[in-house]
Amino acid sequence: MAYETIALQEQGGIATLAMNRPQVMNALSSQMRHELIAAFDAVAGRARVIVLTGTGRAFCSGQDLQDAQDIGAVDFERVLNEEYVPLLRRITDCPVPVIAAVNGAAAGAGANLALACDVVIAAESASFIQAFTRIGLIPDAGGTHWLPRQIGLARAMGAALFAEKISARQAADWGMIWEAVPDEGFEAQIAARADHLAKGPTQAYGALKQALRGSFDLDLPGALALEARLQGQCGASADFREGVAAFLEKRPPRFTGA
């Protein structure tokens, strides 16, 4: 499939999806959302890690407010349910790790698209902003779910109410993201992190995602049961046997994802 709003590269088990509308800071148009969904569907079965990033000086500036002739007539409930929710579920339900490589500003739905990913790594010059109240809206694209879980209710409420810019360093200090990286080393760090995951035990990573994400909806007995079931699957995998053999033989493991 040919893409007009994103750029897709695949190498060494790493699929990089770059939102590619730099002239509008990678604002999310309907076309981009559909192309991102299609790209996730295309690579999820063959990639061992997916990197989501932006081209130019921004990661994503959020919803493209010029994507409709009359923005006041937009049915946001329909757009969220039919276009954003499927995209977010492609990320959260993806069987392999998804890294958000936040190269610049991440605003509104763009910020929350990043927070939906399994690991968020940002350049120190990047920033996050829940800009919704500036135009009379509430955080969407999963923002009301991710924020209080990642940074607590007090910080989530302040970030949403005041719509103030949060630096990458502050986001890392708060636990909103995994790490903030100096700009000059950002691309190298993303490559190193992606390579590490691409060489890892893919089946275990998928099970880990299920267990951690599913824990929010379960009580302790339910979480322990899910954990036991998934660990049983991992324990029967070739990757587990390889991991144990490599440990005993004092060599790096060669995981295959099986």
pLDDT of residue 70: 62
pLDDT of residue 2: 87
Would you tell me the crossing angle of helices 153-162 and 143-151 to the nearest 10 degrees?
130
The total number of structural domains that make up the chain:
2
**CA-CA distances (angstroms) from residue 208 to 143, 178, 204, 231, 252?**
22, 16, 6, 9, 21
The full 3-state SS of 229-244, as one line of letters, equals HHHHHHHCCHHHHHHH
pLDDT of residue 67: 77
Q: Which helix (H) or strand (E) holds 227?
A: helix 220-235
Residues 66 and 145 in one domain: yes
Report pTM: 0.94
Residues 43 and 168 in one domain: yes
Identify the DSSP state of 82: I
pLDDT along the chain (258 residues), means of 10: 93 97 96 97 94 97 81 84 97 97 98 98 98 96 96 97 98 98 98 97 96 94 96 96 96 89
pLDDT of residue 1: 77
Question: What CATH number corresponds to the domain at position 92?
Answer: 3.90.226.10
pLDDT of residue 219: 95
pLDDT of residue 118: 98
pLDDT of residue 71: 67
Two tokens at 144? 């009301």
pLDDT of residue 184: 97
Number of other CB atoms surrounding residue 64 within 10 Å: 22
**Which residue range is the domain that position 210 belongs to?**
202-249
d(CA 7, CA 36): 10
Residues 154 and 30 in one domain: yes
Residues 42 and 91 in one domain: yes
Two tokens at 55? 């081209």
